[in-house]
Chain A
Amino acid sequence: MSKPFIEIEGLKKHFDIGNHQILKAVDDISFSIGKGETLGLVGESGCGKSTAGRTIIRLYEPTAGSIKIDGTDVTKVSKSQFKAYRSQMQMVFQDPYASLNPRMTILDIIGEALDIHGLAKSKAERKRRVEELLEIVGLNGEHASRYPHEFSGGQRQRIGITRALAVQPQFMILDEPISALDVSIQAQIINLLIDLQKKMGLTYLFVAHDLSMVKYMSDRVAVMYLGKIVELAKSEDLYANPQHPYTKALLSAIPVPDPDFEAGKERIVLKGDLPSPVNPPSGCPFRTRCPAATERCAAEAPMLRETRPGHIAACHYA
């Protein structure tokens, strides 16, 4: 990997939820992504993946930490300069129904991206550009005058992708882009994303809530638990040699298309629910559900350390 394109250092996002309580949705995460690379970000629902994505793209103000894109810390640039960085990073959202304004036509939804960045000189050019973009993602350009409710979930997600592409970004955060779709359509969207990445040299942060989804997409995978990264490694290594008990549990939950293996497989069932990020457990955040927890885990928080070459995990016993 050459010089990283995206570098996240010590990123924190804490929400003040009133009553003098702080919800640490993202608590000190660091990672980097090389140009053209895909980093998978995986963890249960509520562990802070969307908050991390939204903070990186500056929809939320970070509580602490730096976000570097191609060497520039975007948390430090002025508001007016930041607009230029806006077009470098874009996001595809999880819910294809909530992410398109029901009161706007597709032309206006995508056209807005062009308007904001002055990418179309005239009405005719705007329309032509939107139609071109729609064709790129495999939709019929003539449908631009329709409203979102006239499209299916997969088509809406393509429209969401088109909107992000309209400003010619280099980095895209894909926040569970397929988890709301039918299984038969998921593969089509994944293939489209891979295609676009190849054609345009895009860099992806691919967010998912289970490990099976990221497998085909990601070069490296980061596993998140309660606002922290607990393991990060190359995809093959993470699947072959999971180090953290949480990763092992997530992996054991993926069904394998081999009945004999499936029958003999040991399935680690996580007990209990995700603890509240308002009052995280002392020591290791995973200790309340970890089958291997000891007294040390309650007393001392494990640091992320290299447990195999190029493979880091935060567990005392990894």
Chain B
Amino acid sequence: MAHSTQTLEKGAAKAAPAAAVYSIRRPRSATAKKMFPYLLVGPAVLYLLAITLYPGLFAMYQSLFVVKFVNWSWAGLGNYTRIVQDREFWAALANTAIIGGLSLCLQTIIAMTVAFYCYRDPFVRGWRIVFLMPMLFMPSAVAFIWKLAFNDGRVISDLLMAIGLVSNNVDWLSSVWLARLTLIVADVWQWTPFLFIIFVGALQGQDEEIEEAARLDGASWGDIFWNISLPMMRPIIVVAVTLRGIDITTMFTNVYIMTQGTPGGATETMSYFIYRQGFRMFNFGYASAASVLMLLITIVIAQTIVKRAFKSGKS
């Protein structure tokens, strides 16, 4: 007994200096301990609140006024009633849906197809990060590159002429659909990799044994994709596409730099409409009201999609 106590004490004596060496913590009061995590995340939270929540609330407040610089006059819901009668607002909404919807469909399909063809490829496994390159460019730089390629530098036209698809220079801003197409191409180019990376990751996480079992059951790769991979990836697809969708609905940079809403407003997205109202025509209250409406529409759509996708995924 005495013997064992002695060894215990010896052990403790040995442990104590070790603890003193390795512990970087100093004794603290219970309150300080509790506050510490909040202290760590505090700056980030404050920053995020300052750049998102405050402007959001400010916009909601401002949307209730007619604002001419420093003159604010109370308008109640006047801005909103004017907006719902504004054909330009509805046109912008439709343009956003058309351009964004097509772009989103296209990038989802491309990303999924490419991901499914190459997810077991060793190169893709090791180097999938390089596919992120287009996302790393500054959005305005990308917009200028495409503006150059389509409109100013006529690179695309030249290429099309070289392969004999067209005989004259194409004026991309002359037609509604060509102008929209340039925006779609730019967005697809920059953001397909984002979806690709997510889809490849999901596919690589798929159990290889299950694929082999399906092969032995007689399934082709197409069968495996439609029957097994796609249903299993469903939640991931929903989340990724929703995130992308939210991002696309706020498409601004490309419009601002490449088309500025031409021709005839056919490429004016919601963000550009809001920008034009606010910073060209200085109807700040009106622009704020449009932003608030846009926010509501986005939230409702995203919420419905996500809710529905996950509900049926569970059963």
A complexed with B: no
